[in-house]
Structure 1
Amino acid sequence: MIKFFLMNLLLSFIWVALTGSMLYSNFIFGYLLGFGVLWIMNRNESDVRYFYRVPKIISFFFFFLYELIKANVQVAYDVITPKYFFKPGIVRYPVNANTDFEINLLSTFISLTPGTLIIDISDDKKAIYIHVMYLKDEEQFIRTLKTGVERKLLDLLR
């Protein structure tokens, strides 16, 4: 998988060198073009994980960017209006992540979102305690995290 990533980077640098334009958009276009070329050339190989993970990474990036912007707008609206809309609470969130890396990455992405803060991880690593600024319904919050960030992140890592 790393072999394909490095070859893809090499192809994108070659594209940038051939076009002579050192722009981010040109590099991204070269990366996508190299991805397509590598995918066509290696369709019959047994190790095709790279070609499934790259679209998942891009999808997760845009999903998380959307969630980040939405939470920032909610917090900014609450700050600039005279009435406070927040209802703080602490949630015990049961995790499906198995390894320390998965739990650490999940807790990092949860705490990057404004309005949430990781307080603690249980000793058996089966639950994360989260302080939430806008807790209207605890079950809805858990369901949103399960079907959103955690599912997409674990699909990406596994």
Structure 2
Amino acid sequence: GHTWTRLTENGDVLVGVDDFAQSLIGTIDEVKLPRLLRRVKQGGIGWQVWHGHRLVSLVSPVSGWVVQKNEMVLHNPSLVNVSPYGDGWLMRIKPRKLSSQLTNLLSGKAVQQWQEDAKAQLIWLFSGTPALMYQDGGMLLDNLADRCSDDEWKKVAKEFFLVEPNSH
């Protein structure tokens, strides 16, 4: 679901939104994280972000308990865009049986290939939409949420974030 994980020294896992997801969504205006000590499930909805009226639910990459929320992101959500893998991390999870969850996570070159495949899939999905294409056939990836109709955005959210989109 275009999220990332990083194992910490004490065995907890930091999670966040990957660069591909944040570029599709555009400037993140609001972040909603689960309560502290709430259990999240790998593949289940982990958190939500807003860009204007577009609400995107993102899946949790691991199962476990939320032990810390990044307060800086809650007060300045655009950190997710500026530094998605640094100051823009979202929460720290104490994982439940992490070793059994690792088979569902990608790392290294597999992540790069997966993101390239996702970009190619996105270009194919919108190949008939001239407003989203450069003249050379390339795709306008950044801030796609503002460039799509509601129906187009529903396709993007379902395909790339693995959940049905909402508005508020």
TM-score range, shorter chain: under 0.3
Select the structure of larger CA radius of gyration.
1
In terms of fraction of residues, the more strand-rich structure is 2
- State the TM-score, normalizing by the size of structure 1: 0.26
In terms of fraction of residues, the more helix-rich structure is 1
Q: 1 or 2 for the larger relative contact order (CA 8 Å, sep ≥6)?
A: 2
- State the TM-score, normalizing by the size of structure 2: 0.25
